[in-house]
């Protein structure tokens, strides 16, 4: 048990030290926003092959003073005969509020390829998502890759994630996110926990530290 704990801490410390290699130090000096977010996730197992996946979250931005973004999504996940491979068809709606108080809708239908494996005591999962962004100004596709490494639960289950976004609208990778989370299984149906996320955005060929986000998730599984 102690060996697992020491190994988990070593891996997460090593991953954290890699951040400055990908993002120059000057990016940390730029102006950035602080956000607060709450997530509710609901997963329902229909059969051994199919599972319904849904979520909703609300987010306060501008130093946690302005509720100007919320999002929900729902989809169907198919578990292939290969236990490490699943497919997900999804639909999302995001609502953004501008400075005049008007809300704008963005729709995002998507399809994802999910893979997972276990290396030593760690679960490694990756999702490649192809989504089509539909809003009032333009329509175009985006590719999102999400890599998550999680530790076995001792008392709490820590994880670290990396999200990367390629926007065809900009013909470039425009956003990277690194997320540190802790989750606790209350019972077989309920888990919850806090997380901390840092966002780096690219503008004028330069990466900047754009946002720090503090969140809390509640996940229900049936």
CATH number of the domain that residue 110 is part of:
2.40.160
In the predicted structure, residue 111 carries a pLDDT above the cut 70? yes
> pLDDT tens digits, residue range 50-61?
999 999 999 999
In the predicted structure, residue 1 carries a pLDDT above the cut 80? no
| Tokens of residue 151, six digits | 């530790």
For residue 20, give the H/E element and its range: helix 19-22
Determine contact, residues 181/159, Cβ cutoff 8 Å: yes
Domain of 107 in residue numbering reads as 2-221
**How many domains are there within the chain?**
1
pLDDT for res 30: 55
> pLDDT tens digits, residue range 82-106?
999 999 999 999 999 998 899 999 9
For residue 222, give the H/E element and its range: none
Distance in angstroms (rounded) separating the CA atoms of residues 128 and 65? 33
Going 43 to 46 to 49 to 52, the CA torsion angle's sign is negative
In the predicted structure, residue 23 carries a pLDDT above the cut 90? no
Reported pTM: 0.85
Q: Work out whether strand 33-45 and strand 206-221 pair parallel, antiparallel, or are unpaired.
A: parallel
> pLDDT tens digits, residue range 127-169?
999 999 999 889 999 999 999 999 977 789 999 999 999 999 9
């Amino acid at each position: 048990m102690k060996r697992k704990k020491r190994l988990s801490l070593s891996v997460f410390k090593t991953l954290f030290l890699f951040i400055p290699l990908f993002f120059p130090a000057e990016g940390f000096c730029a102006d950035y926003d602080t956000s607060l977010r709450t997530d509710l996730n609901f997963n329902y197992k229909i059969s051994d092959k199919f599972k319904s996946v849904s979520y909703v979250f609300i987010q306060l931005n501008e130093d946690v003073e302005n509720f100007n973004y919320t999002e929900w999504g729902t989809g169907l996940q198919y578990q292939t005969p290969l236990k490490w491979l699943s497919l997900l068809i999804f639909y999302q709606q995001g609502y953004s509020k501008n400075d005049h108080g008007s809300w704008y809708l963005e729709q995002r239908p998507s399809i994802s390829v999910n893979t997972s494996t276990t290396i030593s005591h760690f679960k490694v999962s990756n999702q490649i998502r192809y989504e089509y962004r539909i809003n009032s100004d333009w329509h175009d596709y985006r590719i999102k890759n999400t890599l998550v490494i999680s530790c076995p639960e001792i008392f709490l289950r820590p994880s670290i994630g990396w999200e990367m976004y390629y926007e065809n609208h900009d013909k470039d990778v425009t956003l990277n996110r690194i997320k540190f989370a802790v989750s606790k299984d209350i019972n077989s149906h309920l888990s919850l926990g806090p997380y901390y996320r840092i966002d780096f955005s690219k503008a004028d060929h330069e990466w900047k530290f754009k946002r720090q986000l503090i969140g809390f998730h509640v996940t229900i599984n049936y």
